[in-house]
A and B are shown apart, each in its own frame.
Chain A
């Protein structure tokens, strides 16, 4: 599809909107439908689209496989780490009230941070799976 002008330009125009929408779904997750999981999938879809249009190598130059794998692990650390921080602040595990003076804000920040962890992991895992399937054709691994 690299030679198809409309698809190439179209993908370029759409990608920033997909990424923005992913962030919207993430940050709006505590008021409406959405959250880290959905946001992670949408974000991964943006890069899958680029890989389909510009080729796997082009995307892997920007997002190397080791980086997305690292993301998968990093997200879990963010999630569990938030819990550890609240524990160190003297509350129970994942007791978000510890994160701000006003418990309401604490809950708000807490859920956003935890969902950020989910976003990073889901993005990492989705992209890794996509890389593995897309890479099979050439390398046969």
Chain B
């Protein structure tokens, strides 16, 4: 079966989703969703191992040879992204079981799991495929199911948040498909590796540059880069807790992967950084995102919204790494995809625990929770420290490489901005910590420690964000290898 690994990566959740929709029992659907999530992680790890030992893995769907048929192609970069998505799915899915039973209507729960599995299918599909049109198809699968997942939030505003995301997301997807169409017109191919070979011949044509522009806007909408981020805060704030934790740690990460794959593998680093000046375009946007969104986060009173704005700022860090246009910068980008998934996952899951007990994440409602829910809030503190970038946490590792990359290019002011923004992160994390630990508890007896079904997954991510901060060697090595693959273009 090992030859079929690339397709199994997508097939397992794709098969589990309709079965969940057919099941009447919420418990059976939950068990199936958890099982499917764990299987995807196992497949992703097996793929990463195979890529490390044997190089690029290619799979021809339907037996049609690559440039003609759809190819699934896994190298270091997407093996890494698959592991990120698989890890988060397998940690969040058991959490989902407890959290969703209190937040989603009982008869809708099997359908909820079906939507979750479809979203997972889409995200994994984007990462695994080597065909640009297939990317668009999986993008739509993941986005449509994401809209449905967000709309299942408890508050009515979840519906408007989901609708706004639907409008923005559809605009983004349309831009992407127009870009893909233009590429197809110019080259007659949809295969990524094939496109990378054919495109240099037509680099000078305006059509290719326009395609680049369309794709860029589409990806930036999907990954919520600063001026195009407006859909994100409400979508994250009003979605069910488990969905927020899952989406915040995977959806934007996969969008970043798409950007890297298209701009560095298909168009190639020389075209992106040379002709199109991608680095000079993204640098100011990234810096503005980091500073302004951290400042907006400081002003929020809803802690889930606060974390959502912080996510937009963190995407700034990710894009900043790309705009450094070097292996070190890209290493930081790829590392931060994983590291941010760990810490934001832990933070949103801690907030899910709070919602489970007191039904609100308003900052005033959290007064005194440090003593009432010690483990939950401790996980929040760990995630918060990592967000700030304190040594011995994953946040430190990614910022270290970012600053290293900035200094490498001689961009001292960028390094200073990164450090200053960390202080802003300290401010917004501290506001929550102060309220939770320094103020007395005022509510009724509802605020007791969250059940182990919620705490355990939260702490798995919190612990991982310390573990991979201390023992960063393996993640850094993998990210660096992936960064080299991206910078060197095709064939490696």
Contact = CB atoms under 8 A, between A and B. Distances in A.
Interface of A: 69-70, 72-77, 80-81, 83-84, 87, 91-97
Interface residues of B, number: 16
A95 B7 CA distance: 12
B62 A92 contact: yes
B19 A95 contact: no
B30 to A, nearest CB: 17
A51 B364 CA distance: 53
Interface in B1-60: 4, 7, 11, 14-15, 17-19, 21-22, 59-60
Contact of A76 (B17, B60, B62, B63): B17
A83 B114 CA distance: 20
Given A73-B22, A87-B4, A92 B15 contact: no
Contacts of A81: 15
Contact of B14 (A70, A72, A80, A91): A80
A81 B15 CA distance: 8
B68 to A, nearest CB: 14
B301 interface: no
A95 B62 contact: yes
B61 interface: yes
Contacts of B7: 83, 87, 92-93
Given A92-B59, A94-B61, A76 B4 contact: no
A96 B62 CA distance: 7
Contacts of B60: 92
Nearest to B59: A92
B14 A92 contact: no
Given A73-B22, A83-B7, 16 more contacts: A73-B17, A73-B18, A74-B18, A76-B17, A80-B14, A80-B15, A80-B18, A87-B4, A87-B7, A92-B4, A92-B59, A94-B61, A94-B62, A95-B62, A95-B63, A96-B62
Given A80-B14, A84-B15, A72 B21 contact: yes
A70 B19 CA distance: 10
A45 to B, nearest CB: 23
Contacts of B61: 92-94
A76 B11 contact: no
Nearest to A110: B62
Contact of B18 (A76, A94, A96): A76
B159 to A, nearest CB: 14
Nearest to B63: A95
Chain A interface, DSSP helix/strand/loop, else mixed: helix
28 contacts: A70-B22, A72-B18, A72-B21, A73-B19, A74-B18, A75-B18, A76-B17, A76-B18, A77-B19, A80-B14, A80-B15, A80-B18, A81-B15, A83-B7, A83-B11, A84-B11, A92-B59, A92-B60, A92-B61, A92-B62, A92-B63, A93-B59, A94-B61, A94-B62, A95-B62, A95-B63, A96-B62, A97-B63
A83 B70 CA distance: 14
A51 to B, nearest CB: 23
B128 to A, nearest CB: 12
A72 B4 CA distance: 27
Interface in B343-378: none
Contacts of A69: 21
B105 to A, nearest CB: 12
A63 B101 CA distance: 30
Contacts of A72: 18, 21
Contacts of B21: 69, 72-73
A141 B461 CA distance: 39
Interface in B105-127: 114
A93 to B, nearest CB: 4
B15 A91 contact: no
A94 B60 CA distance: 10
Contacts of A92: 4, 7, 59-63
A117 B7 CA distance: 19
B477 to A, nearest CB: 32
Contacts of B4: 87, 92-93
Interface in B49-89: 59-63
Contacts of A83: 7, 11
Contacts of B19: 73, 77
Contacts of A76: 14, 17-18
A91 B114 contact: no
A84 B18 CA distance: 15
Contacts of A77: 15, 18-19
B131 to A, nearest CB: 14
Nearest to A95: B63
A87 B112 CA distance: 29
A60 B78 CA distance: 47
Contacts of B22: 70, 73-74
Which of A69, A73, A81 has its CB near the most chain B CB atoms (within 10 A)?
A73
A93 B59 CA distance: 9
Nearest to B7: A93
Nearest to A76: B18
A74 B23 CA distance: 12
A22 B61 CA distance: 29
A84 B61 CA distance: 12
Contacts of B11: 80, 83-84, 93
Contacts of A80: 11, 14-15, 18
Contacts of A97: 63
Contacts of A94: 61-62
A96 B63 CA distance: 8
A86 to B, nearest CB: 8
